[in-house]
Amino acid sequence: MEFGKRALALEAEGHHVVKLNLGEPDFGAPPAVLGALEKLADGRPLPYTGATGLTELREAIAGFYHQEHDIEVDPARIVVTAGASAALLLVTAALVDPGDRVLISDPSYPCNRQFAESFGAEVVLVPTTAQSRFQLDLPAVRANWTGQTRGIMIATPSNPTGTSLGITELKAICDFAAERGAWRIVDEIYLNLGTRDAAGRAPATVLSIDPDAFVINSFSKYFGMTGWRLGWCVVPDEFVPVLERLAQNYYICPSTPAQYAALECFTPQSLQVAEDRRLEFARRRAVVLEGLEAAGLPVPVPPDGAFYVYFDVSGTGLSSWEFCERVLAEKHVALTPGRDFGRIGADRYVRLSCSASVGELLEGLSRLTKFMAEIRS
């Protein structure tokens, strides 16, 4: 947010700032979703829905799991929420008690640990490395497990690294935690942006190997609906009434017009739009990886999902914060330093978001290349 403010100030002075710090798709919602919202704005009443969301939207999400991941999910287990953040709020409120020990990888999305800590958890940031693709693995989980550990939070693909956890390793971790009576929250908001296999199948959801995991997802990334504030979670049957009561008290229900419009996400036309955009993000990642290599900024683990690249600036002699400060001030390129995402590598790594257009990415990479040439000389 700090670098975002500085970027806005530079823009106000008339500079062209290349914003590669924002984790927000630049496409917007699919056209059919926008059309549906326009129709809803005809003066009709748009009253509260049930706290867990429209029945037809929950059914459509269940159909999405069947079509994309070849698994059956009971719509009754799906809770539609006011964004993935609200899903995390409900799930952590339901699961976390003061003093519970919760394992989260370092680096990771900072709000995940903030949610857990806000309900009194002792969050343990487990160091990861390039060798583990900046993801948890079973040896790391074992090494950090104690009798007070009550749960584990995993994001795959991850923000900030864009890397995924292999389904075999994910199963091993989930099995280990389940055997000890601990819950598993798995953030899959970037899952459908991940690389498909040779047969064109989407990456596997954790529900295929751990049906009792708590799964977080969103309309924000794959469908490009960030400001619509609409997400969902899939939870075990016995937790649905718990989350329903929490939602009733926290925010009553998700946005009614957003829910009705989101039904259009699951038509063949909109799914094709989303798939075309996934391919465009893959193209953008390739452009960024090539450009960073040319600039002499190594990427220890190429991303296979999301729209982020996590690169190493230690060879510059600058900390990640200093690197981002100077690049913004001198070249007007906004990036995000590693300290946002944890402690390990906080001064070494920088996150670049590939959510800008190819033209903007190429301009930003050109400026980074010039910056690197100048500091070398």
| CB within 8 Å of 138: residues ≥ 6 apart | 169, 172, 173, 176
Residues 12 and 57 in one domain: no
Q: Point out the domain boundary residue: 266, 296, 330.
A: 266
Rounded distance, CA 279 to CA 266, Å? 18
Q: Is 324 inside a domain boundary?
A: yes
Query: Residue 259: which CATH number?
Result: 3.40.640.10
Let me know whether 9 and 140 are in one domain: no
Q: What is the pLDDT of residue 187?
A: 97
**Domain termination site, one of 237, 266, 295:** 266
Both 180 and 327 in one domain: the answer is: no
- Do residue 84 and residue 221 come from a single domain? yes
Residues 15 and 40 in one domain: no
pLDDT of residue 232: 98
Instruction: Report yes or no on 168 lying in a domain.
Output: yes
Whether residue 224 is found in the same domain as residue 297: no
Same domain, 288 and 237: no
- For residues 246 and 280, membership in a common domain is answered with no
Q: In this structure, are 72 and 167 located in the same domain?
A: yes
Alpha carbon distance 320, 36 (integer Å): 44
Per the listing, tokens 């704005």 go with 41
Do 296 and 362 belong together in one domain? yes
Radius of gyration of the chain from its Cα atoms, rounded to whole angstroms: 21
Q: Tell whether 83 is covered by a domain.
A: yes
Q: Please indicate, yes or no, if residue 194 is contained in any of the structural domains.
A: yes
Provide the number of structural domains found in the chain: 2
Q: What is the pLDDT of residue 269?
A: 97
By C-alpha distance, which of 122, 120, 104, 163 is closest to 344?
104
What pTM did the predictor assign? 0.94
Look at residues 266, 285, 305 and tell me which one is the last residue of a structural domain: 266
Answer whether residue 217 is part of any domain. Answer: yes
Q: Report if residue 276 sits inside a domain.
A: yes
Distance CA 188, CA 194 (A): 10
Residue 377 lies in a domain: no
Q: What is the 3-state secondary structure (H, E, C) of the chain?
A: CHHHHHHHHHHHCCCCCEECCCCCCCCCCCHHHHHHHHHHCCCCCCCCCCCCCCHHHHHHHHHHHHHHHCCCCCHHHEEEECCHHHHHHHHHHHHCCCCCEEEEEECCCHHHHHHHHHCCCEEEEEECCHHHCCCCCHHHHHHHCCCCEEEEEEECCCCCCCCCCCHHHHHHHHHHHHHCCCEEEEECCCHHHCCCCCCCCCCCCHHHCCCCCEEEEECCCCCCCHHHCCEEEECCHHHHHHHHHHHHHHCCCCCHHHHHHHHHHHCHHHHHHHHHHHHHHHHHHHHHHHHHHHHCCCCCCCCCCCCEEEEECHHHCCCHHHHHHHHHHHHCEECEEHHHHCCCCCCCEEEEECCCCHHHHHHHHHHHHHHHHHHHC
Same domain, 220 and 329: no
pLDDT in tens, the chain (377 residues): 788 888 999 999 999 999 999 888 889 999 999 999 999 999 999 999 999 999 999 999 999 999 999 999 999 999 999 999 999 999 999 999 999 999 999 999 999 999 999 999 999 999 999 999 999 999 999 999 999 999 999 999 999 999 999 999 999 999 999 999 999 999 999 999 998 888 888 999 999 999 999 999 999 999 999 999 999 999 999 999 999 999 999 999 999 999 999 999 999 999 999 999 999 999 999 999 999 999 999 999 999 989 999 999 999 999 999 999 999 999 999 999 998 898 888 899 999 999 999 999 999 999 999 999 999 98
For residues 91 and 175, membership in a common domain is answered with yes
Residue found by looking up tokens 């596997």 in the block: 204
Instruction: Name which of 150, 219, 214, 148 is nearest 187 in CA terms.
Output: 214
376 in a structural domain: no
Report d(CA 329, CA 333) in Å as an integer: 8
CB atoms < 10 A from the CB of 173, how many?
25
To 10 degrees, what angle do helices 358-376 and 268-295 make?
10
Domain range for residue 305?
Answer: 2-28+270-371
What CATH number has the domain bearing residue 316? 3.90.1150.10
